[in-house]
Chains A and B, each alone.
Chain A
Amino acid sequence: MAGATENTHLLEMSNITKQFPRVLANDNISIYLKKGEILSLLGENGAGKSTLMNILYGLYKPTAGQIFLKGEEITINSPKDAIRYGLGMVHQHFMLVENLTITENIVLGNEPGRMGILDYKAARKKVKEISEKYHFSIDPDTKIESIPVGLQQKVEILKALYREAEILILDEPTSVLTPQEVEELFMVIRELRKKGVSLIIITHKLDEVKAISERVYILRKGKVEGERITSKVTKEELANMMVGRSVVLTVEKEKKKILHSPIFSIKELYVKSEKGVDAIEGLSLDVRPGEIVGLAGVDGNGQSELAEAIMGLRKIESGQIFFKGKDVTHLDTKGKIRSSFSFVPADRQKLGLVLPMKLSENLIIGLHDTEPFSNGLKLNLKYIDEYSSRLVKDFDIRTPSVSVPVSNLSGGNQQKVILARELSRKPKFMLVSQPTRGLDVGAIEYIHAEILRMRDAEVAILLISLELEEIFALSDRILVLFEGKIVKEFIPEDTDEKEVGFYMTGGSKDDRYGQNG
């Protein structure tokens, strides 16, 4: 491996500061990257990891600080510059054109050919070459829309490699992957390093830091909290540095005897998706009071359709839903809320909250037309304010007042608003979907504790989550959802993430793309 001289680093960011109008995102951060190294940037949400990498990739301009490449100072004004300097970045949200082929996506913006006419053959050859060089097995003519997320990510990586990236930045690369896909990604990453590519991985997952990287920077509140060699640091130490206090990594969950018969059950449910195809195909499940049933599954296997059908937001084609022995299949949303259903939707900003409305209004929406929140047509504003202040206190929602728009709150506090609203309704059945997506450790811990508290208060809870860790931490029973059906049931004590992950991807039916193993 021909590389830089011993004492110069491949890349160095020195004293980087980034001031946003109201937030100091990066505060005098200095980091370096050695050649052929896998480096992690670890930190909670808002610690400044992505900002730092976006500066490196030319998406933001730093307020102060310098960037050195192979010992020379460079300025990066745009991603174009970054690509020229051999930098590549795979964003958390992929930037692929769904109805183009893999080849077309990879060469897009840098197409071989003459006078604006794409030489598809040459492009295809080049893509094939690169993918063979790095041992990626892909079919260059498949369209993006028909390949799974894990493969899309590989396409993104290939895109960077096609542009001859020597330094690859991966932003939260595992957030959308199944455990198997994560394993594959790690293999790809190791392969890349062997070929001389240096990598920076942005993450907030401690396991990944330990599993893949050699060195880690811990960022907190825009500052570098520390730098460690990963083989010489414990997860607990990392966690402490990351949040600045000791956190319990797994929630303490008391084993509980569940004796009751189901209070909520679904029988042979069929629901169609927007596209008119069956999203839920003959799904049946039961939830008993005081039980958390975890529905594990990869995104897009019918989770949102199921949730909407349960809440009366989507038409049920056939099948039945029973609650307290009554058929509630065709009860509307309002009726379901009235009969003590609670719903924490996965997309809190789109479905959970009316962002421009006041915090207090968001706390009472849904029951706004019942006593004591309104008398007849008139809203009882005084009571609403008192009530909201009480919830803000009980749920420790950080806000200047109850009359600020809920959009002013941070993600964690927004989720607390939803939780406060839903839990305060004294539900008998709760449908909780992705309750901690995108939240930091402190908020996750809090929300998990609240959900368990509801379980202990004999609420029947159906938990839909894409995070296996969450499913394992909370569930009393795990159901695996695959292509609209429950394919397997587990007791968490008798299984592990690997086994559940195996069924999440279709079990033995897997291996469509010949890249497992």
Chain B
Amino acid sequence: MGKMVKPLFITLIILLLSCGTVLWLASNFYGILMVIGSIGLFFIYKGIAANREKVKEDLKRFTLTLSIPLIGVIIAVIIGAIIMIITGYDPIEAYAALFYGGFVRNWHVSVLNAAPLIFTGLSVAFAFKAGLFNIGAEGQYYVGAMVAAFFGITIYLPPVISLPLILLLSGIISSLYNFIPALLKVKTGAHEVITTMMFAHIARYSSSIFIRYMGGDPNTSRHPYVTYPILESNWLPRFQQFLPHANYRLHTGILIGIFFALFVYYLLYYTRIGFEIRAVGLNPNAARTQGISISRNLFIALLFAGFLAGLAGFNQVNGLDHKLFENLSAGYGWDGISVALLASSHPIGVIFTALLWGALDAGGQFMQRTAQTPNSIVEIIKGIILFLVIARYIYAYIGNRIRKRRGFVKAST
């Protein structure tokens, strides 16, 4: 291959991939074709450049990793259908509505739903990699949202400066919100599940006070309470600004999410910070024996997890709502756990599981309206998917047990 062709080829793939992604997310379905095309080109390129065996191996691994969540989804859909038949709904009609609503008609709602889930999902996934369970992503989300609302209302600067500034502020302050749980974890071994969970409650209910302070008026009968709107200069750009056909609410927060997913992926697998975090997560004893500080890495992991979850709040306030609602049942933090689990903590996987989750929600609402099938069926399906995916850990556990037994046999023969 010529010297010039190679970078050209790569540029073409990246261009196709990014344009395709943007178009796809902005409800233009030619976008997905471009994404698929670019992935195909990538493999062709790999096939020419590297040896075939390796490409084959990669493809095999790729399909293998995808197969488990996919099988989970299929089985869940089947079980959902059985439940619908038993309870007297038409599963075909309902699923048609679910699919049409989630992936076609209200795709923009799916994307809007997915954006905060990418951030909270990444947050949980990143902590998982260090062997931590950041169950309190919900709390860090609220902190991020409050910070974003506060500075969104008060900072008046050109968007080029103010948006990155607010993003960083909400991320950093949310990460500091995890400082005490991290400190307790490292110093006393207090379990992060307990501490971050408690901190999540504190943050959620503090947000009510914050909202009242920032404009929510308890004397009016308007519910839910909201803050003052943020300044229009602090709004995230919307797709409509450059793609006229896109839905007017659709903002570019999802692109920031994807950027951070790539960033987290890079951090985990291409830097020594990620290397240490993964080593500590997988075998802290061995990591320590090699001079890696466990406490330092747990600290980094929890703080960065807080940072990511906080960005979900920024995304909602500056992208979608442009104010902070007193909406205590949004549950983006909790759903982030599902999204991370479903993606087996892979940062790129989180993008897709978040979109799936978002689409199920959007499609569920559409299904309820058009097919008169209760939305709760979607929640049941979500539960089953998650169960089956977590059950994979059970399979793995059983597999390990067998292997261990076999290993034990081997060692003692």
**Interface of A with B (CB < 8 Å)?**
20, 23, 25, 43-51, 54, 91-93, 171-172, 202, 204, 219, 311, 313, 332-338, 343, 345, 350-357, 361, 365-366, 368-369, 374, 377-379, 381, 411, 438
Of A352, A354, A381, A411, the most chain B CB neighbours within 10 A belong to: A354
Nearest 9 interchain pairs by C-beta: A334-B291, A366-B290, A333-B291, A49-B413, A354-B283, A92-B412, A50-B413, A50-B409, A438-B411
With A and B bound together, what is the CA distance between A51 and B408 in angstroms?
10
Contact flags B277-321 to A (C-beta < 8 A → 1, else 0): 011001101111111110000000000000000000000000000
Which residues from A are CB-within-8-Å of B407? 411
Asked if residues A411 and B272 are in contact (CB atoms below 8 Å), the reply is no
Asked if residues A354 and B282 are in contact (CB atoms below 8 Å), the reply is yes
Asked if residues A379 and B286 are in contact (CB atoms below 8 Å), the reply is no
Asked if residues B287 and A365 are in contact (CB atoms below 8 Å), the reply is yes
With contacts A20-B406, A354-B278, A366-B290 known, what are 13 further pairs, Cβ within 8 A? A25-B409, A48-B413, A49-B413, A51-B413, A202-B412, A333-B288, A350-B285, A350-B286, A357-B278, A365-B287, A368-B276, A377-B273, A379-B272
Q: 18 A-B contacts, Cβ less than 8 Å apart?
A: A23-B406, A25-B409, A43-B413, A47-B413, A48-B413, A54-B409, A171-B412, A172-B412, A202-B412, A336-B291, A350-B283, A351-B285, A354-B287, A356-B283, A361-B275, A365-B292, A378-B270, A379-B275
Asked if residues B283 and A353 are in contact (CB atoms below 8 Å), the reply is yes
- Nearest-neighbour CB distance to chain A for B58, whole angstroms, equals 10
Asked if residues B279 and A378 are in contact (CB atoms below 8 Å), the reply is no
Asked if residues A333 and B290 are in contact (CB atoms below 8 Å), the reply is yes
Which residues from B are CB-within-8-Å of A92? 412
Q: How many residue pairs between the two chains, A and B, have CB atoms under 8 Å in the bound complex?
A: 103
**Residue B3 CB within 8 A of the other chain:** no
With A and B bound together, what is the CA distance between A12 and B398 in angstroms?
33
Q: Closest residue to A43 on the B side, CB-wise? A: B413
Q: Closest residue to A439 on the B side, CB-wise? A: B411
With A and B bound together, what is the CA distance between A92 and B291 in angstroms?
33
Given A50-B409, A354-B279, A332-B291 contact (CB < 8 Å) = yes
Select which of B270, B282, B287, B409 is within 8 A of A51 by beta carbon. B409
Which residues from B are CB-within-8-Å of A171? 412
**Residue B271 CB within 8 A of the other chain:** yes
Select which of B270, B282, B413 is within 8 A of A45 by beta carbon. B413
Q: Closest residue to A405 on the B side, CB-wise? A: B282
Given A368-B272, A377-B272, A45-B411 contact (CB < 8 Å) = yes
With A and B bound together, what is the CA distance between A204 and B413 in angstroms?
8
Asked if residues A356 and B282 are in contact (CB atoms below 8 Å), the reply is yes
**Residue B410 CB within 8 A of the other chain:** yes
Asked if residues B413 and A46 are in contact (CB atoms below 8 Å), the reply is yes
Number of residues from B at the complex interface, CB < 8 A: 27
- Nearest-neighbour CB distance to chain B for A174, whole angstroms, equals 12
Which residues from B are CB-within-8-Å of A54? 409
Asked if residues B286 and A351 are in contact (CB atoms below 8 Å), the reply is yes
With A and B bound together, what is the CA distance between A46 and B408 in angstroms?
10
Asked if residues A44 and B413 are in contact (CB atoms below 8 Å), the reply is yes
With A and B bound together, what is the CA distance between A311 and B279 in angstroms?
19
- Nearest-neighbour CB distance to chain B for A191, whole angstroms, equals 25
With A and B bound together, what is the CA distance between A336 and B410 in angstroms?
35
Q: Closest residue to B278 on the A side, CB-wise? A: A357
- Nearest-neighbour CB distance to chain B for A516, whole angstroms, equals 28
Select which of B276, B287, B290 is within 8 A of A337 by beta carbon. B290
Which residues from B are CB-within-8-Å of A357? 278-279, 282
Q: Closest residue to A384 on the B side, CB-wise? A: B275
Contact flags B392-413 to A (C-beta < 8 A → 1, else 0): 0000000000000011111111
